[in-house]
A and B are shown apart, each in its own frame.
Chain A
Amino acid sequence: MKGLDASGDLGLTPQVSRPLLARGLPQALTPVLAATSVVYLVAVTMAGAVLRARRARLSLAVGVYASLTLAACGAIAGIGRVGSTRAVHLHHVSLLQQLPGTDDSVLTMRGIAEFPAFDTFSLRLPLADAMIATASPTTTTDQIVDAEGFPVVTGLFGMAGRQSFAGEAVVRLHPLSISEHGRQVDAANESGVTLRDCRFGRGLSPGRIGTLAPGQSVSASWDAGTAEDEGPSGPLFSCAMDEAPVPLTETSRPVVMHGTTTVVAYRQPVLNGTPGD
């Protein structure tokens, strides 16, 4: 990591920024609320029309109206607690930086969790060597770990409540395999998912690759005069993937991750310092 930092490659890697979310209820809840409201409205209107047309008894009218209102209360209270609405939606922008010469990568994540119901939640990043910092009104940042030592985003949140956080972790994961043979650089997709927006770094051609299917490999060569001589050049190869490398988990609810992870691979830095560096 220090070698990468000294080489300047890290500084030239675009960093993650917090995802932007529009105001309003979460997209997962809005259609359910709209549908429930329409059903309630239609039911009350139809009941009113039928009861008036049939000149129904008062007890029947009261019973029907009370039943419809109670049913609507139950349906609305159930939003975020049953079915697909139970899921916690997590919007993230992540960066997975493969550490050359190791099997590890550094994962940096900025995210916003959207909670589906008024309840206590505990979102866990299931990695021991990780941290999550959340903004708090009382302090600048909070870093909380659960009983097993995993970092968590936890608290009592209202329906559609949001909590932004930043996370960092070291993960044993290398979706990209990079090899250099003379002036040629080979990159292969070793993940199980399709990578998109792939590109080689500065000084390599072709630069833009596009999509890289699982198992597929591509090659590029250094442009004339730009081989191993130059200073910082940034990532050697980068791709974007729609899957989160490490999904967060919640004890009693599913977590749906939305966002993009940028995977970057670097050249093996030339270490000039002592081994202790």
Chain B
Amino acid sequence: MSQFTRRHFLKGAGLLGAAFAVQSAPPFLREGRGARPIKWGMITPTTGPYATEAFDQVEGVKIAIEDINREGGVDGRQVELLFRDDQFKWDQTTTHALDLLDNHRVDFISGSMVGPEEVRLNELSGKRKIIYANYPQHILSTPDTAKTMSPLFFTANTTPYQLAGSAATYISQKKLGKRIHVLADDYVWPKMFMPAWNALSKKYSLEFSEAESVSWVPFPTSLDYSANFPKILKAKPDVLYVINWGARQVAFVKQALEAGLHKKAQIILANTDVTIPEAAGKGTYDGFFASAMWHWTLGDRYPGAKRLNDKYLERRKRPASGYGAMAHDLTRVILDTARETKLYQPKDHFKLAKALEGRKFQYSKGESWIRPCDHVCVSQVFFLAGVSEKAMKGDFDHLKVIGDVTGEQNELGCEAKGVSGPASSRV
């Protein structure tokens, strides 16, 4: 039997130590240039009431990343998606984000579906100086919230003002009447429409007063909107503007039809998507109007939209939703810009942000651009009309696009929000 000497011990310890050092070495030592993928972190609630839209977001991001990788990646590196489901719990949003940032060292953070998630990820973006690609509505775009936006926050989605603006434009163009009444769920997002309607009612000479012309519905507990119908009927509005989403919108539409409300006022839904009328049933939205950031029927107009729909039909057996399309477009524009500028590491994100500001892009709809002062995406906002069951050609054309509004005039000015100069320079 050979003797175990001190030399053997030192050799073994040395090998063990070297192995440990390699394991715990910083990533840049372990992953050589060209081998380490660019990590795109994403957090969205694929469990919970908005799971369908969240899954659509994930699919949109996957498609964008696949396309970028097929085209050679960014600076020779492939892009890798690291996805986490926060289960619609806000503490989980932060936990997963920190895990992605600290343990997985993601190069970008993205996602969210609702305001509380958006606010938390925005805050992390500001603290960690990393680009946050926000997929839902830009709620940090009002005069009250604009200054809290991280300089590295980006979105391709609309703002509440833009949605209200498209409705106000349509009301004015089609001379639907002057008297506006708003029915809204009582939480943060619908409240953001109030400054919009205050400003738009002056712009288009509409009769609207926040004190008299708004009916609030307890959220999330009350699913029956009919308790508000007597007040609305008493107000005799020309237009009833309804701010809700998802299952609550389905409930409202059904109750409005049952009560004949749609015969007494023109009903315009603030925002909708293909997934919502699907749950209401064919022809249910006939007689209703809505604004939207995107609609799958744009596939007839834009090749990018058609391509996206084809991919969704192949993978998810139905066309893309607006959430999916906007997630795709935003991911795409950030990675395309990163590829052109070769700026993708977090240390270069302020430079990348500067390159994104003012950049024009077009993927699944008409030309869009990101306004430098508040990172609002200036793009088309579409106006939709419901389709009767008889007129529907397939399973998904519950609505059709009848117009769109675009341009910076469909958003509050930077001065009105108290912000000036490019956001990326506000370190």
A complexed with B = no
